[in-house]
Structures are given as C-alpha cells and as structure tokens.
Structure 1
Amino acid sequence: MATNPADTKPVDSDIANTHIVFNQPKPLSGHNLYAGDTALREAVMYNGGHWAEDDLQRYGEVCGRPEMIERGFLANEHKPQFESHDRVGNRIDLVNYHPSYHQLMQLALSEGLHSSPWTNPGPGAHVARAAKYYLHCQLEAGHGCPVTMTFASVPSIRLNPILAEQWLPKVTDRGYDPTNRPYTEKAALTIGMGMTEKQGGSDVRANTTRATPLGDGSYALIGHKWFTSAPMCDAFLMLAQTDEGLSCFLVPRWRPDGTKNPIQVQRLKNKAGNVSNASSEIELRGALGWLVGEEGRGVPAIIEMVSATRFDCMIGSTGGQRQATLQAIYHASQRSAFGKTLIDQPLMQNVLADLQLEVEGSVAMTMRMARAFDHLDRETEKLLMRLGTAVGKYWICKRTPHHAYEAMECLGGNGIIENFITARLYRDAPINAIWEGSGNIQALDVLRAIGKVPEVLDNWYDELAQSAGNDLRYDRAVAHLKNQLSSPDEIEYRARHIVDQLALTMQSHLLMQSGNSAVADGFIASRLDARGVGNTGTLPAGIDVKSIVERGNPLVT
C-alpha cells in the first residue's frame, strides 16, 4: 500500500527542537571569591592581614553574587554619555552613567576601598584594603579609576594643611554622592587627576598649562589636559606652570561660591577597554585652583599620588589575572573534549598551571608591597616600596594582556564573546600597563631611583638574600641580576631586561618564603630557567601541575 506523504511530515516540536544543549558550563556565580583563592588567603596571612579574615570572607561572598556580576556587565554595555550643554544652551559638562556604575561605586566606597588605611591605620591596614580591592575589581575594572584616584589623592592633599582640613573628611567619607552640585553642599567627595597634555604625555615638564596667582592664595589655570579620567569627580589634582616652575594644584569642579568652575570637557575618549569609565579631554579657561605642596615642586607633590595609583595598578592587574584564571579553570573542570574532561588532560593542565603560577607571583609581590605600605615608618620598607611599585607595576601589568588572552583561549570561541567576562578582561588588560606611566617610563624610573638613592638596590638585595641557598637556579638568577646592574654600559638600553629580572627574582623569593614548594618550584623552573619565559603552557616536566591548578580552582575551598 502506498505511503501518504503527510504521514512522514515532522511534527512542529521536532522542527523547533533541533538539539539539546549539553557540555556547556553554566555561568560561574554564587561562589566566594576569597574562600576559593588559596594564593590570596595565604598572602593575607603571611603579610599581616589575618585580623581581616572574617571581613574578607564576607566580601568574597558579596563579590560572587550573581547580581554583582551582572552590574559589571551592565556598566560596560552602557557606556558613559556626555552632555556639553543643557536643553536651553547652558554649558553643563555633564557625564551620565548607567545606574549599575553608580551601584558599583556605592559598593566600593561603602567598603572603604578609597579610604580605609587613612581613616583606620594600623598593622595590616593596607594589606586588608589591597585584598578587598583585589576581590572588588574582579567585578568590573573601569569604575576602579575614581576609587583609586580618590584613595591616592590623600597623601598629596595632606601637603596643604588648610586644604586637608577642609577636604579630607569628605574625601575619606564612606558615602557616595554622584549629584552634579558644588562640593560645599556634599558630605562625600571623589578626586580625579589631570597630568598629561598633548605635547608631552608622560613628560609632564613639557606641560604648557599656566597658573596665575590671584592674590588671595588661589590661582587661575589656563590650558588643556589630554587625559582627565572620571570628569565627574568633585576636584582634580593637576599640574601647571608658574613662574617658579611646574606646580601641583587642587582644582574643584565647582567654585566655593557655587558657580561652575570653567573646566570644559571637549569630548570623551573612545577606548578599546575600560569603557565604563569616562576618560576626557578638557580645557581650563581660567579655572580656580589651590596650590598643593610648594610652588615649583609639582612633580614631588603629585608623585605621592602617582606612587599609590601605581600600587593600585598592581592590585587591579593581579585581580584581573585571578578572574581570568578562575574562569579558565572552572570552564576546563566543567567541559569535556575527546572523551575526557579538559582539566584532566595533560596539555590543558600545563596551560592552567602556568596561568595560576602567574597569579601566584603577582599576588605575592602585590601583597608584599602592601605590607611595605603599612610600614613606611621603617626605612627598609620605604626603600622597598620605592623600587617595588615601579618594578611591580611594570611587570605585573605588562604580563596581564597575554595572560588574559591565554585564559580566553581556554574557553575556545566562547572566550571572545562579549557576554563572557573573558572578552572584557582581555580588553581591559592593557589599561594598567599603559596608564600611570607605560613600560618604558617604569623601567626608566627604576634606573632613576637606583641612581638617586643607591640604598634602594642594596635594600632589594637584602630582601632577596633571605632566600639565598634555597635553590641553585634562584642563586644563579640573583647573581645574573647583580652582574647586569654592576655594568653601566648601555644600561638604559638594557633597562627592561633588568626590571624583568628584578621582578622575577623578587617573586621567586617571596614564593619560596611562603612555603608552598610545588608553587615555588614550578615558578622558578618556568621563569628563572636559562631558556627564559616561553609561551603559556610550556612548563617543564616534573612540576606538580595538579596541585597548582587545584589552588586556583574557585570551587575548591
């Protein structure tokens, strides 16, 4: 009997359901970022932050909540929008942000990420704050810019006791007030920074902005700034020329009488990363400012701020490395290919362990500098931080873009899709390496520090000497470093190689001191070996990759 074609026609449900989705990991959320981070927990304990354990456990849970993670995505999806004038033509220079940006700012400031070591100083204060900031920045990096600048402004503003008395109680307040109104009407303020100009960039002594005294202790600034981040901050630390030379000023967005200070935003930068944060070009048309520090001593005055922002660059890049690594490890633990879970495949273990070793070294160095920050009353710690912030900012921030790419590759095609966090981590990764002084600037700063204060190098060697004799490969690397620095020939040409070795030997020393032999051996074998640092996933045989990967697994506590 003939078959009726209608009898073989697929039903609608068969057409609608072409396949079942499986072997695709669910989004990682609802996890405790602190509890699942063995390297961070150990570093906090080792560097004197043990008293903050309960608070960090609490905040690690907060930063793993799905709604917090979603705010990071929304703040990046909806970029800041600039309005130069209101609807009837009045100049307003207003930047509008998505509510998620404001929610993240509120969270950061309520936790004291901009102020806690200043308002509650004591042993481990900077260590605890660095650990909390490391957790927080894994939610979203862009809004961290005004948080960091506000934090870093405090030592500079203190150089003017009158300004400090008026401003610092509001700067360190744990509130958040994004309203567009005079600072005199607010209880909580944020601080930005405007240093670089078109013609000079990092060479700030080439700045042309002029500051003219008005006779009452204030100045009028005329000029431009090529990069002014977070233009909705309540005031900015800026550099301008006076008759005495380059000087530092605090420039409010509103004048004390409630009128708008003539700081005019020309446009917002269209950046590849850091897109939730507004970065602007501005012109100063007689803007009111007050001197910070001595006239003609602008660089020493603002370097107080720059040193702290560079330290936060270390924290931010280290946090970025951690988030990228935990995403890679989580994905590999949940997905199978060629008949085996990815995390159980030797080549993937090599890659994941290498990613985690980078995090281990970055965490160790960042938290060691946080401990130094806590003890600047000790000359040895002050010297260590003077060199360590430049070395750490150079190395950690420069390693992060490639690290982010390798972690992204672990997710395959999904890794480059914008609703996976790895794509954003990759776009954001170069920012800290370029801002606050790019690689060459940091390398030259290291040479400048060694040349001006030779004790910084002797102090660095004293720190490294604590691990002498523990590993022959390490001893050879330290000897090579000393040999490189003992010769003045073409030292500027060789500066990057020297800073590489300063960083790697310090990280190796700190990992040996922390007591985990698998991590220390893996780091030294892959970073100090004569063949140099190769591509990610080229760890030599004999390394305990399984235990290293387990330390980075966000679901293992």
Structure 2
Amino acid sequence: MVSTPALTQSPYATHDVTNQAPPLAPYDASEDAALLEGLRREGAGWAEDGLRRLGLRAGSAEAQEWGEQANRHEPELRTHDRYGNRVDEVEFHPSWHHLMRTAVAEGLAGAPWADDRVGAHVARTAGGLVWGHTEAGHGCPTSMTYAAVPALRAQPDLAKVYEPLLTSREYDPGLRVPTEKPGLLAGMGMTEKQGGSDVRTNTTAATPTAEPGVYTLRGHKWFTSAPMCDVFLVLAQAPGGLSCFLVPRVLPDGSRNTFRVQRLKDKLGNRSNASSEPEFDGTVAWLVGPEGRGVKTIIEMVNCTRLDCVMSSATLMRKTLVEAGHHVRHRSAFGARLVDQPLMRNVLADLALESEAATTLTLRLAGAADRAVRGDAGEQAFRRIATAVGKYWVTKRGPAFTAEALECLGGNGYVEESGMPRHYREAPLLSIWEGSGNVNALDVLRALGRDSTTAEALFAELALASGADARLDAAVTGLKVRLTGADQVGARRLVESMALALQASLLVRYAPAAVADAFCATRLGGDWGHSFGTLPGGTDLGTILERALPDAN
C-alpha cells in the first residue's frame, strides 16, 4: 500500500511572488529638477514649499487611490428625481469630490486672478503639474474655472458679482443660487454637432428679452464637459451675430435654469469627468461683451485652457516616466536589473529628454501668461504664438510617450491595475480638446499673418540661445526660411519646427549640457531613429537619468 506524503504547505501555495516592483506610492510628485528649476526661474520660487507639500500629498497612497476610484466609479446622470421632476444632475463618487476639494483649495482653479504676487499663474501651473499625478479628469472643471475669469471681465458688471466666487478656494458642490455659495465652478459650451471647431456655424439662437443684457437661448450643444458646474460661458447667435453668454444652472430666484442634459458621452478616456450634450430651451442667459464679438470675448478663455492642455500632457509624461523608472529599478531580467540594461537605459533617457522639454516649455508659457496679464506687450505677443505652438506639439507627443512608458512595464503595464492604461487613454484627448492639431496649426498661421510682432517675439526668444549650439542655430535659420511662403499644406511642419527650436533653445539655456546636447543631436540634428530609445552612441545616459530619476544609476 502506498502512503500519502504529509503536506508541508497549503495545497494552494504554488509559488512565492518575487521580482515584482513594490507599489510606487507613497512618493513625492514634486521631485523633478526641471519643474523646480522652472518654478524659480519663472518668478514663483516663493511657492516651492507649498508645491513640495502638494507633491507629497499627490503621491500619497490615499490620493492615488482617489484617482483610481474616481475613474472606476464613473459619474452617473440623473435626469429626473423620484417624483418625475427634471433635475439634470450628475452624481460623482466621493473620491472625485476629494480630488476637487484639494485642487480648489490649493489654488488650481480661479485663485491666481485674485493673487497679486508675481508668479501666481506660474505657481498654479506648477501645482497642476504635480497634482495631476493623481488623475486628469478633474482638471477639466478647474481649468475652465480658471479660464472663465478673463473672459468674464469683458462684462464688468457680471465680473463684479461672479469673479470673487470663481477665484474662491472653497469647493461647494451642488446646484444652488450661485451668489449664495462660497465658491463657484465654471464650464464652457462652444461646439455643436454640425460644426465642431467651426463655431461660427453654431445654430443656438439667443433672443433678447425686455431686460437689457438678458437673453433666452434655444439650441443644442455637442460637447460640454463638467455639466455640474455652477455657471457656463456659451456661444450663441444673437441678432448682432455670434455672441458670448453667461448661463447659470440656477437662477437668482432659486429656480432651475433650463439646462437639459440629454446624455453623457461614452469616451475613450477622461472617464471620471462627465461630458454632456445639454439642450437649451428658453434658457436664461446674460450677454458677456458686445453682440457679434463672441469669439473675441471667449478666445482669452481658450488661450488659458490651451495652456492647461500643454500642462496636462507634460504631467502625463512625467507621471508615466516616474512609473516606468520605478518599475525598471525593481525588476530584473536576463541576470540584471532592467535599469542597468543599456537598451532600457536608452529608452528611459530618451523619454526623460522629452519630459523635461515638455515641462520646461510649459513653465515658460506659464511665465509668459503671468507677465502678459501684468501688461508686458512682448510677452503677450510671445504667448499668443507660443501657446498655440506648444499646444500642437506637446499634446501630439503625449500618446507615443505614454505608450512607450507603458511598454517599459511589459505585460504588467497593460493591465488596468497598473494605472498605465488609464494614462494611455487620457493622452489623445489633449490634442483634441480646445482645437485639434489642424486647428492649432492654422491658428499659428493666422497669428503670423495678422500681427508681425508674434514672429518677432518668437525669434527674440530663440535669439537668447544664439551661438550656444550650431544645430540650434541652423534650425532657427531654416525656420526663418520656412516662414516665407508658409501655407496650410506645410503648416504642421512649420509648427513642429517652431516647437522643437523653442524647446531646444530653453534646454540650451537652462538644462545641463548632457540634456541639451542629446536633445539637439536627436530632435534637431537628425541623429535619431523613429521611436524612443534610439539616442546615439556616446550620449551621457547616466547624467540624463540621474537628473530625471534620482537613484536610477
């Protein structure tokens, strides 16, 4: 008779878990040399202590869990209450509210407009680069709230009422009379199904009432994010042409304004944020700016949100680079840690170059915005063209970047639990939101054609690095040649050349020599392949990696 051997372990214990990276959290999301140097350089060094505190909070296990839960438990539309009353409310998971409350309290919504300190807008952008490590969706309402303030100033009587509430650091969800709340959020409704970016084809009609400045709207908007906001800036056709209007969700008498949310969009990414199709039918609205000047009125809002698109793309780059770096420091293959393998080091260093270039450009654009609102004409001209250039290029680089960072984790990066698929799905949105690539490229052409000071401002910025790198000098010379006879067919190439020259000039001036040299050699000098990880032999990978990912060597 054969005896059964005694079991020495659980019959379900087949192996020990080894060679897996531990959780990244907690970590410091502000531990980024390019970020901190840019913060100081652009006039907001006074915000560094607060930024470091926010970085620790963003990288905490709790905040990272908020981001995951807010995306797993998506917002839900309630068109009616239990009694059949139309309510058009959107319900969010508590984690969304935790994220929003922190963002508003940290001044990432409208607060900089009430802050007289030099660098206030830079500090906000830097805060977004850090707090965005949690998740991207809740950045939409904070961005639109920030951007609404300068547009609303076109109507001083409305700005007097609403600006103190839009610049508040109090987050107060729920639909009530706006002036009875301690703080407000703002949204925007521009696009319609028949036109998209071509807003001059909008059909939503605005009819004047007997009360001066008050209209009623009738129409349907196609892509209005964050419908739970308190007020919206929308475009509609008034008797005098396309105009901008302020639409509150709740009217001064406490009744609900007609804002029928027909459905929430089923989107590729940005799942935590509700995006909707609202219908207006007798909706009460207040005119903002003159009739027929709607695009001019709201364009300042677009300039602000475009900067936030650049910021969010740079944040995704940095977040996914940090995730990839963490993984390869703890994972081994073929007898060595991944971070010690030459090919992986090449990939990481290449990603690090792209991330630093994006972060540095973002903060330069924020500095220009900060100085522009203080009346610096040169910075206003630079901001006008450089924001469109940055929006085009940095957001275009995002999807390829996040895909490569995801691949650094291999199969582990392809599963939802890693968080990398969420980041990957998020990346394409930023090149679409506030104008697709073609729209931004055409905007650059318009800026060049309308005002010669925009090109002058761009080349004045590039001239600050003149003589420092022969490849950059050649790129600037070529760019000047390309400007002559620029047309739509070549618009994307033109804007790409502008962006690379601008990023290179900033790195040549401010980054370590190893970073600037590698960037110029590959992005300008042509010594590069068709994917990340093709830096040429002789590149100082160690210095680049140590700067971007301390302890990577």
TM-score, normalised relative to structure 2: 0.97
Per-residue deviation, 1:12: 7.1
Distance 1:228 1:533, change over 3 A: farther
Give the alignment partner of residue 141 of structure 1, picking from 115, 118, 136: 136
Is the counterpart of residue 414 in structure 1 residue 412 in structure 2? yes
Q: Do the aligned partners of 2:528 and 2:536 also contact (CA within 8 Å) in 1?
A: no
Counterpart residue number, 2:263: 267
Counterpart residue number, 1:310: 306
Per-residue deviation, 1:533: 6.3
Per-residue deviation, 1:532: 6.3
Counterpart residue number, 2:489: 493
Any idea what SS the aligned residue of 1:27 has? coil
| Separation in 2, partners of 1:116, 1:14 | 58
| Separation in 1, partners of 2:552, 2:170 | 35
| Separation in 1, partners of 2:237, 2:252 | 23
Q: Do the aligned partners of 2:245 and 2:288 also contact (CA within 8 Å) in 1?
A: yes
What aligned pairs does 1:87-166 form with structure 2 within 5 A after superposition? 87-166=82-161
Any idea what SS the aligned residue of 2:15 has? coil
| Separation in 2, partners of 1:515, 1:265 | 48
Per-residue deviation, 1:116: 3.0
Counterpart residue number, 1:445: 443
Per-residue deviation, 1:524: 0.7
Per-residue deviation, 1:543: 1.1
Counterpart residue number, 1:25: 21
**Residue range with higher mean Cα deviation, 417-426 or 243-252:** 417-426
Is the counterpart of residue 551 in structure 1 residue 535 in structure 2? no
| Separation in 1, partners of 2:477, 2:2 | 84
Any idea what SS the aligned residue of 1:375 has? helix
**Residue range with higher mean Cα deviation, 130-139 or 546-555:** 546-555
Any idea what SS the aligned residue of 1:127 has? helix
Counterpart residue number, 2:380: 382
| Separation in 1, partners of 2:319, 2:348 | 13
Identity %: 50
What aligned pairs does 1:3-402 form with structure 2 within 5 A after superposition? 4-8=1-5, 11=7, 13-34=9-30, 36-216=31-211, 217-376=213-372, 377-402=375-400
| Separation in 2, partners of 1:204, 1:243 | 16
Deviations 1:379-404 (A, max 9, x none): 11111100011001111111001100
Q: Which amino acid aligns with 2:347?
A: V
| Separation in 1, partners of 2:33, 2:512 | 11
Q: Which amino acid aligns with 1:461?
A: F
| Separation in 2, partners of 1:407, 1:212 | 51
RMSD: 1.4
Q: Do the aligned partners of 1:33 and 1:554 also contact (CA within 8 Å) in 2?
A: no
Q: Which amino acid aligns with 1:500?
A: E
What aligned pairs does 1:417-496 form with structure 2 within 5 A after superposition? 417-488=415-486, 491-496=487-492
| Separation in 2, partners of 1:532, 1:250 | 50
| Separation in 2, partners of 1:333, 1:39 | 21
Q: Do the aligned partners of 2:521 and 2:527 also contact (CA within 8 Å) in 1?
A: no
Q: Do the aligned partners of 1:326 and 1:554 also contact (CA within 8 Å) in 2?
A: no
**Residue range with higher mean Cα deviation, 494-503 or 527-536:** 527-536
Q: Which amino acid aligns with 2:397?
A: R
Q: Which runs of 5+ in 1 are unaligned?
A: none
Distance 1:13 1:173, change over 3 A: same
Any idea what SS the aligned residue of 2:222 has? strand
Per-residue deviation, 1:232: 0.4
Any idea what SS the aligned residue of 1:241 has? strand
Any idea what SS the aligned residue of 1:114 has? coil
Per-residue deviation, 1:185: 2.6
| Separation in 2, partners of 1:554, 1:101 | 31
Q: Which runs of 5+ in 2 are unaligned?
A: none
**Residue range with higher mean Cα deviation, 307-316 or 115-124:** 115-124
Which fold has the larger relative contact order, with Cα–Cα distance below 8 Å and residues 6 or more apart in sequence? 1
Per-residue deviation, 1:466: 1.2
Q: Which amino acid aligns with 1:6?
A: S
| Separation in 1, partners of 2:551, 2:109 | 30
| Separation in 2, partners of 1:512, 1:249 | 45
Any idea what SS the aligned residue of 2:492 has? helix
Per-residue deviation, 1:344: 0.6
TM-score, normalised relative to structure 1: 0.97
Q: Do the aligned partners of 2:469 and 2:508 also contact (CA within 8 Å) in 1?
A: no
Per-residue deviation, 1:515: 4.0
Distance 1:95 1:554, change over 3 A: farther
Deviations 1:518-538 (A, max 9, x none): 110111111112366621111
Distance 1:532 1:209, change over 3 A: farther
| Separation in 2, partners of 1:126, 1:362 | 18
Q: Which amino acid aligns with 1:423?
A: P
Any idea what SS the aligned residue of 2:416 has? coil
